[in-house]
């Protein structure tokens, strides 16, 4: 352990942070929803949203191993896996989204989405949300305000970026008791479109996650996306749904997060879960938008190994009925947290959809001051209890749970009960 830690500190960039920086775990293997450290200790993984159908799922592993020994890269040549995976993936999406591009990471996907939007609309300006994260490439950092906000960095907004308030009803501009909050937040987007016009600029794209993850599992209020999509399209722009986190069944019941909001985007970006831990990402769009880009290539995008794995992941979701399981287990998780909420003055809000749950901790419900330190202490103590949770939100006070879809009702009950015990012990110390 010590040697690995020393090598990591010496040779890997300091800015690549580890979970639990004070006492990072060394993970040596994983299976389904469990991680195992170098002492053999088992941890329940509530944050690894990439290993979607479960770490090292046997079907995914065997398909991957077989393809690995047959053909891994076929850049520029025809192969079955890429074509068949594109067809299968597209069958999970609304009819208008019928052309697929493959890349290897969510960031590349969002970068390509912006290029597609610009090539189709001939407009380069983008509206993003002020607590969004869309990736780590140069232009994506510009539309990921949470990165510089959370780190307290001084940042000069680029002239092509227009930032709308994140549509949150807890500690947001418009509250939960405001019945029209979806419309009111959408109006903020309309104002940006109009302001840009007055300044001689035109919006080419609106990009948002369907559930805003790094912003603290924010579920936009009813009708928000309906109004925003209409305003954007009426003004000649296109709508991009970043489904890197909220996609592929994470929200339960359906494959895609935008289905929660009853809208159909023009471009969808998909990443993390589709490769179950293997680098694979896709951008799916309409025929017209796809055809507007004259040339695109990616050495590893859509390679036969990645696509065979992608197909295996879809097969597991179907065979193991993971969409309905995510709905039921996710409901059990959220209901569980809502049940313990009255007992804990520090639980300000419980929110989420499906297996995407956030618990916002506050100093007390009256002042709603973010309990940042408590969130960190809680995550460390949960780790001592062998449960790994994440922390998100601009104030780093939202405990997030994004477990693999094979998570069970028993796992969910155990997490809620342990969380309640740990939080009670922290509250009693305060
Ligand atoms: N979009 C969202 C919503 C994300 O959460 C992430 C990664 N956390 C990305 C894009 C970027 O994906 P990647 O890290 O695979 O480049």
Cβ of 107 below 6 Å from ligand 1 = yes
Element (H, E) at 188: helix 181-198
Q: Does the predicted model carry a pTM greater than 0.90?
A: yes
> Which stretch of 166-180, 218-232, 392-406 has the lowest confidence by average pLDDT?
166-180
Ligand 1: which atom is nearest the Cα of residue 136?
16
Q: Specify the higher pLDDT residue, 179 or 269.
A: 269
Question: How wide is the angle at C-alpha 170 spanned by C-alphas 167 and 173, nearest 5°?
Answer: 50
Q: In this predicted structure, what is the pLDDT of residue 175? A: 85
d(CA 289, ligand 1 centre) in Å: 22
Q: In this predicted structure, what is the pLDDT of residue 179? A: 87
| Domain end call among 289, 319, 349 | 319
pLDDT at 398 over 80: yes
Q: With left for phi above 0 and alpha for psi between -120 and 50, is residue 25 left, alpha or beta?
A: beta
Q: In this predicted structure, what is the pLDDT of residue 153? A: 79
CB 364 within 8 A of CB 430: no
pLDDT at 236 over 90: yes
pLDDT digits (tens, 9 = 90+) for 160-190: 999 999 999 999 999 877 889 999 999 999 9
- When the pLDDT of each residue in the chain is averaged and rounded to a whole number, the result is 96
pLDDT at 342 over 90: yes
Whether residues 100 and 221 share a domain: the answer is yes
Cβ of 250 below 6 Å from ligand 1 = no
CB 149 within 8 A of CB 130: yes
| SS3 category, 294 | coil
pLDDT digits (tens, 9 = 90+) for 30-64: 999 999 999 999 999 999 889 999 999 999 999 99
Total count of domains within the chain: 2
d(CA 132, ligand 1 centre) in Å: 10
- ipTM for the assembly: 0.99
- Residue 47 sits in a domain whose CATH number is 3.90.1150.10
Instruction: Measure CA of the first residue to CA of the last residue in the chain; give whole Å.
Output: 34
CB neighbourhood size of 56 (10 A): 14
Cβ of 67 below 6 Å from ligand 1 = no
Q: Is the dihedral of CA 277, 256, 405, 377 positive or negative?
A: positive
Q: In this predicted structure, what is the pLDDT of residue 4? A: 96
Buried b (16+ CB within 10 A) or exposed e, 394-407: bbbbbbbbbbbbbb
Whether residues 308 and 376 share a domain: the answer is no
DSSP code, position 165:
P
Whether residues 327 and 396 share a domain: the answer is yes
Whether residues 197 and 163 share a domain: the answer is yes
Whether residues 302 and 206 share a domain: the answer is yes
Residue 76 — very low, low, confident or very high, per pLDDT cuts 50/70/90? confident
Whether residues 282 and 254 share a domain: the answer is yes
Whether residues 120 and 143 share a domain: the answer is yes
CB neighbourhood size of 77 (10 A): 9
CB neighbourhood size of 415 (10 A): 24
| Domain end call among 286, 319, 352 | 319
Whether residues 308 and 330 share a domain: the answer is no
| SS3 category, 156 | coil
Q: In this predicted structure, what is the pLDDT of residue 156? A: 87
Q: In this predicted structure, what is the pLDDT of residue 75? A: 84
Where do the H-state alpha helices sit in 213-343? 224-234, 287-291, 304-319, 322-340
Q: In this predicted structure, what is the pLDDT of residue 176? A: 74
Whether residues 365 and 290 share a domain: the answer is no
Whether residues 66 and 34 share a domain: the answer is no
Whether residues 126 and 272 share a domain: the answer is yes
Whether residues 196 and 251 share a domain: the answer is yes
| Domain end call among 319, 343, 371 | 319
| SS3 category, 265 | coil
User: Which structural domain range is residue 272 located in?
Assistant: 58-319
- Residue 171 sits in a domain whose CATH number is 3.40.640.10
d(CA 309, ligand 1 centre) in Å: 19
Token pair 């987007």: residue: 189
- Give the mean model confidence (pLDDT) for residues 89-115: 98
pLDDT at 430 over 80: no
Residue 150 — very low, low, confident or very high, per pLDDT cuts 50/70/90? confident
pLDDT at 330 over 90: yes
pLDDT at 402 over 80: yes
Which among 136, 272, 282, 391 is the best mutation to test ligand 1's pocket, defined by most ligand atoms within 8 Å of the CB?
272
Q: In this predicted structure, what is the pLDDT of residue 132? A: 97
């Amino acid at each position: 352990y010590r040697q690995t830690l020393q090598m990591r500190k010496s040779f890997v960039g300091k800015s690549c942070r580890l979970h639990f920086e004070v006492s990072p775990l060394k993970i040596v293997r994983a299976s389904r929803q469990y991680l195992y450290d170098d002492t053999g200790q088992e941890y329940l993984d509530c944050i690894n949203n990439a290993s979607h159908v479960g770490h090292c799922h046997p079907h995914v592993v065997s398909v991957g191993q077989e393809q690995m020994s047959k053909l891994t890269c076929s850049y520029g040549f025809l192969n079955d896996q890429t074509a068949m995976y594109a067809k299968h993936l597209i069958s999970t999406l609304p009819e208008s989204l019928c052309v697929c591009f493959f890349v290897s990471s969510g960031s590349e996907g969002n970068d390509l989405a912006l290029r597609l939007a610009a090539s189709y609309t001939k407009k380069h300006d983008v509206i993003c949300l002020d607590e969004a994260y869309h990736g780590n490439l140069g232009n994506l950092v510009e539309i990921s305000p949470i990165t510089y906000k959370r780190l307290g960095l001084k940042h000069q907004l680029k002239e092509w970026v227009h930032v709308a308030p994140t549509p949150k009803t807890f500690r947001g501009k418009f509250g939960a008791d405001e019945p029209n909050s979806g419309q009111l937040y959408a109006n903020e987007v309309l104002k940006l479109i109009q302001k840009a016009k007055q300044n001689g600029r035109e919006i080419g794209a609106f990009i948002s996650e369907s559930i805003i993850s790094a912003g603290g599992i924010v579920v936009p209020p009813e009708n928000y996306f309906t109004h925003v999509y209409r305003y954007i399209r009426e003004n000649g722009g296109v709508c991009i749904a970043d489904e890197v986190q909220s996609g592929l069944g994470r929200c339960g019941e359906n494959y895609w997060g935008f289905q929660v909001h009853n809208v159909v985007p023009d471009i969808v970006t998909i990443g993390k879960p589709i490769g179950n831990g293997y680098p694979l990402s896709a951008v799916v769009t309409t025929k017209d938008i796809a055809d507007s880009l004259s040339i695109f290539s990616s050495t590893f995008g859509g390679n036969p190994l990645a696509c065979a794995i992608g197909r295996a992941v879809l097969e597991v979701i179907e065979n193991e009925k993971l969409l309905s399981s995510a709905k039921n287990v996710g409901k059990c998780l959220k209901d569980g947290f809502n049940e313990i909420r009255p007992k804990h003055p520090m639980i300000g809000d419980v929110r989420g959809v499906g297996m995407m749950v956030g618990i916002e901790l506050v100093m007390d419900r009256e002042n709603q001051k973010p309990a940042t330190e408590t969130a960190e202490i809680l995550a460390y103590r949960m780790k001592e209890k062998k449960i790994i949770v994440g922390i998100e939100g601009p104030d780093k006070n939202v405990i997030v749970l994004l477990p693999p879809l094979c998570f069970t009702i028993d796992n969910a009950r155990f997490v809620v009960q342990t969380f309640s015990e740990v939080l009670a012990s922290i509250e009693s110390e305060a």
